[in-house]
């Protein structure tokens, strides 16, 4: 590179281009390092305050995740919360009902090993680690029937572990939620 003589304009042009591209790629790498550092340091100081723990051995006995409290709940302020528990090899409830075009918060945990779930066609994607509550808020744009598979290998029955998410129109949901208790479509 350095021996390109002024008598060889092609080599000189090539050298200039190479230097420019080298500087550009170094700049890109520095920007990426800065982004990764910022995200790492910023995130590392944030999540502790949001960690919620729960005792997986007493889930079914008391607290938020007892069976009668699982499913979709509508709070006094109209907030929609879906609570579910994962265990080898099913979700409880196995069929969830949620309204479209409404903020919905999922709260879930595992009773045994690490599970996870995603809801097909949405950006809902959670890992369920025993001892911790996973939560995520989202909004479903339109009614439909969506699949919700477990996406963490959790044992021999992993591939058979999935649930349905039944997204119904807001008005239909309000009709369904008229009664008390928790909504689900499990058993239908």
Contact residues for ligand CUA, defined by CB under 6 A: 86, 89, 115, 150, 152-154, 158, 161
Which two three-digit tokens encode residue 61? 């006995």
Closer Cβ to ligand CUA, 145 or 159, answer by number: 159
Closer Cβ to ligand CUA, 46 or 156, answer by number: 156
Q: How far is the CB of 113 from ligand CUA (least distance, A)?
A: 7
The rounded distance, in Å, linking the Cα atoms of 140 and 167 is: 7
Among 134, 140, 126, which Cα is nearest to 168's? 140
Which two three-digit tokens encode residue 174? 């309000």
Q: How far is the CB of 89 from ligand CUA (least distance, A)?
A: 6
- The residues, any chain, with a CB within 8 Å of residue 93's CB and separated by 6 or more, are 70, 71, 84, 163, 184, 185, 186
CB 84 within 8 A of CB 110: no
CB 121 within 8 A of CB 146: yes
Q: How far is the CB of 86 from ligand CUA (least distance, A)?
A: 6
The rounded distance, in Å, linking the Cα atoms of 116 and 148 is: 10
Closer Cβ to ligand CUA, 86 or 183, answer by number: 86
The rounded distance, in Å, linking the Cα atoms of 132 and 58 is: 13
Q: How far is the CB of 161 from ligand CUA (least distance, A)?
A: 4
Closer Cβ to ligand CUA, 11 or 129, answer by number: 129
Q: How far is the CB of 116 from ligand CUA (least distance, A)?
A: 7
Which two three-digit tokens encode residue 19? 């230097």
Closer Cβ to ligand CUA, 134 or 177, answer by number: 134
């Amino acid at each position: 590179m350095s021996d390109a003589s002024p008598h060889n304009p092609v080599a000189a042009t090539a050298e200039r281009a190479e230097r420019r591209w080298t500087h550009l790629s170094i700049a890109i790498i520095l920007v990426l390092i800065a982004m990764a550092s910022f995200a790492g340091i910023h995130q590392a100081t944030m999540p502790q305050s949001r960690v919620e723990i729960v005792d997986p051995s007493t889930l079914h006995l008391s607290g938020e995740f007892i069976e009668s409290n699982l499913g979709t709940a509508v709070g006094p302020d109209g907030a929609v919360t879906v609570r579910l528990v994962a265990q080898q090899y099913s979700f409880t409830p196995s069929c969830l009902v949620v309204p479209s075009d409404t903020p919905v918060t999922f709260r879930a945990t595992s009773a045994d090993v690490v599970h996870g779930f995603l809801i097909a066609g949405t950006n809902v994607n959670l890992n369920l680690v025993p001892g911790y509550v996973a939560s995520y808020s989202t909004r479903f744009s339109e009614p439909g029937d969506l699949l919700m598979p477990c996406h963490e290998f959790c044992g021999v029955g992993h591939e058979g572990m999935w649930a349905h998410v039944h997204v119904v129109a807001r008005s239909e949901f309000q009709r369904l939620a008229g009664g008390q208790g928790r909504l689900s479509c499990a058993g239908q």
